[in-house]
Structure 1
Amino acid sequence: MSETSTRSRPTERTSERKTDEKVEHEETKTDVCPECGGGLVTDSERGETVCGECGLVVEEDEIDPGPEWRAFDAAEKDQKSRVGAPTTNMMHDKGLSTNIGWQDKDAYGNSLSSRQREKMQRLRTWNERFRTRDSKERNLKQALGEIDRMASALGLPENVRETASVIYRRALDENLLPGRSIEGVATASLYAAARQAGNPRSLDEIERVSRIGRMELTRTYRYVVRELNLEVQPADPESYVPRFVSDLELNEEVSRRARELVDSARKEGVLSGKSPVGIAAAAIYAAALLSNERVTQGEISEVADISEVTIRNRYKELLEAKSVDGTRVQ
């Protein structure tokens, strides 16, 4: 018994000595120079800590924990920070899961053998199965993929896709899908999101890229807006003007004059009950004539996807509402 206790004493003394040395080292790490007592300055370029009075190098070869890039504002700093991909509502798992790449290559870029390719394919299959564990996630995955496909075909920005994904998630959580198709609710969500974001698309444009008919789209859209209490303002003709002007390759003066025509028509009450797409197309046609730009009713009709008769009727109503610059347009 005494022999065992005697052997353990040197080990206890050694551990106590190491602890004392660690504490002593931590106490000596101060912001004061050990030679002259002056203040220490950190040189991040050389990785050194030096005394500002006598120039003594206290520490060298320090590790810089900061980033290797520079940022000049908060937005640029958030954009350059590397802390993993941000979460997004446009993916059913919000982008938190991992994916196995489709390239059958190793870390050095060499092609895998046939046996390894089969193994990777099985891993991809199981990975997809684990990512969608229940019917709700499979539903969400299909719907968000449909929203992304339609938004890409319509040229809608990312904020519209994000809003549409949130609307669909709400509809799924509140059990609005029974009796309705996934494509129908997804299309209605995208249509509502585009109008909320001030970047609307007409029903004809939505119907062209969707897998459902116009009647189902309008019926599902009204149902989703009513049940979710979405605040969707009536489409403004001015929101269509920049896109149509860009597609027709007209100048900024045409866009400005078209907005003035729409504004004057709004004040006169001409817009009530009229299609905003038709008003926008007619305003562009009138503004192009006033700006001496060569554009035909057929070209505008093709871009706006409305008939030339509608353009002519709305065109006359806009000119009657207000004569721009006192010029009479034939």
Structure 2
Amino acid sequence: MDEDQIFSLADSLREEEEAKGPRKAYGPDLAVRLICPECLKAVPNIMEEFSSGDLVCGDCGLVLGDRIVDTRSEWRTFANDSDGGDDPSRVGEASEGTAQLETFISFKDGKTGLSNQLQLAARSQTTRSKRSIETANRKIDNWCQVLDLPKAIVDTAKVVYQSADKGKLLRTKPLEPVVVACIFIACRQGNATRSFKDICRVTRVQKKLLAKCYKVLEKALTNGDQRGSRPEDLLGMYCNHLNMPPYVQGYCKDVIELARERGLGTSRSPLTVVGATIYFVGMLFGQPRTLAEIREVAGASEPTIRGVYKLYYAQREALVKKQWIEDGKADLSRLAKA
């Protein structure tokens, strides 16, 4: 194809485009309106609810869209306390009960002396109360990690310690037993009950000192309610350690309640009551565990467990429901003679 033919083809194409009229510009059609399909009003009353992220018809309440992004300016106050005034700053002191973020100043300063000056300035900015809370929070993090406790328990223990520190409840006591007592209270509040012996064995804190700190904190934080750990709270953990079937725990609870109604073992330690109940129910339902195995888990001695078991065995017919025997689940002949 020569040049004349190319030019003539181009002219013919241009003439065809001109015959079609002016080319339309691409862009959004501003005449499109959002109308409620229920109301069908020419002037719709569409409302944006940023609290729920919905686009709602103001007349009939039909949701027309969701996940609406709030593009308005945010005028909130980010002060650490109520006396901070109108402070739009988003930075400030870490909130209480959270992990502590610290900056450590190195001692290596090229022998210029700047390190000592910075450390003195940092210490002057930190009060005694803040230093004690930071140290306690670190210990709570470490002990809770050793005890394999969830984060909710960790945060609760920190809040308990801060309350004790503000009330100056245990200023004369060493820090270790106070921290461990806070963890023990947090475990009870979070249904992750641990016994005194379990916590003392891990933390190496003396049981008597821990009990004193616990009584002071419990009395101050619960308005005098000094209810100790119940045997029912320890059943789940000990049954799991002894590899008992799940249904055994429910029967143990029933036996403990029936024994409590008859005053059996009420003056004994919860550890002893749990150990004797597991020993009694295990034989009753064909899942026996030896006294040595139970002692290893519960921490109670074999003679004390056997003493509560004798009380259970003497009242065995009252502690075993007839329905269990009729269903063929329980058998009194399996029980060892006391």
One-letter code of the match for 1:176? L
Contact persistence 2:265–2:308 (CA under 8 A): no
1:264 lines up with 2:258 in the alignment: yes
Q: CA deviation at 1:219?
A: 1.6
CA shift for structure 1 position 273: 1.3
The equivalent of 1:248 in structure 2 is 242
Which of 190, 212, 219 is equivalent to 1:226? Answer: 219
Give the superposition deviation at 1:240.
0.9
**1:279 and 1:251, CA in 2 relative to 1: closer, same or farther beyond 3 A?**
same
Counterpart AA for 1:212: V
AA of the residue aligned to 2:235: V
Paired amino acid for 1:183: E
Give, as a single letter, the amino acid of the residue that structure 2 aligns with 1:186: V
C-alpha distance 254-222 of structure 1, shift in aligned 2 (>3 A):
same
Q: Is the 8 A contact 2:170 2:213 kept in 1?
A: no
Quote the offset at 1:99 in angstroms.
8.4
Call closer, same or farther: CA 1:135–1:296 in 2, change over 3 Å: same
Q: Does the 8 Å CA contact 1:203/1:214 hold for their aligned counterparts?
A: yes
Provide closer, same or farther for how the CA distance between residues 244 and 232 of structure 1 changes in structure 2, counting only shifts above 3 A: same
Greater alpha carbon shift after TM alignment, 200-209 vs 223-232:
223-232
What is residue 302 of structure 1 aligned with on the other side? 296
Q: How many residues align?
A: 235
Q: Which moved more, 1:165-174 or 1:231-240?
A: 231-240
Per the alignment, residue 194 of structure 1 pairs with 187
Matched, 1:327 2:332: yes
2: CA distance between counterparts of 1:232 and 1:89? 27
Q: Distance in 1 between matches of 2:265 and 2:150?
A: 27
Q: Work out whether residues 265 and 311 of structure 2, in 8 Å CA contact, stay in contact via their aligned partners in 1.
A: no
- How many angstroms apart in 1 are the aligned matches of 2:202 and 2:273? 23
Residue identity in the other structure for 2:239 = V
| Structure 2 CA distance for partners of 1:137 and 1:184, relative to 1, 3 Å | same
CA contact (8 A) 1:285 1:300 kept: yes
Q: Give me the TM-score of the superposition, normalised by structure 1.
A: 0.60
Quick one: higher RCO (CA 8 Å, sep 6+), 1 or 2? 1
1:215 to 190, 208, 217: 208
Greater helix proportion: 1
Q: Which amino acid aligns with 2:332?
A: T
Shift of 1:150: 2.3
Measure, in 1, the Cα distance between the counterparts of 2:95 and 2:278: 37
Shift of 1:190: 1.6
Name the CA shift for 1:317/1:88 in 2 (closer, same or farther; >3 Å): farther
Match of 2:98 among 91, 98, 101: 91
How far off is 1:64 after superposition?
A: 7.3
| Percent of pairs with identical residues | 25
Aligned: 1:238 with 2:232: yes
Say if 1:214 and 1:234 are closer, same or farther in 2 by CA, change over 3 A. closer
The match for 2:80 is none
Partner residue of 2:280?
Answer: 286
SS at match of 2:194: coil
Return 243-252 or 140-149, whichever deviates more. 140-149
Q: With the length of structure 2 as denominator, give the TM-score of the two structures.
A: 0.59
Residue identity opposite 1:258 in structure 2: C
Q: Distance in 2 between matches of 1:260 and 1:237?
A: 12
* Structure 1 gap ranges (5+): 1-26, 42-62, 67-86, 101-121
Work out whether residues 89 and 162 of structure 1, in 8 Å CA contact, stay in contact via their aligned partners in 2.
Answer: no
Separation of aligned partners in 1, 2:186 and 2:137 = 13
- Give yes or no for contact 2:279–2:288 (8 Å, CA) kept in 1: no
Deviation at 1:211, TM superposition (A): 4.7
**Residues 140-198 of structure 1, C-alpha deviations (whole Å, 9 max, x = no match):** 12112222322233333333333222211111111224211121211111222223344
Task: Determine the structure 2 residue equivalent to 1:109.
Answer: none
The correspondence for 1:274, drawn from 263, 268, 272, is 268
Separation in 1, partners of 2:95, 2:255: 40
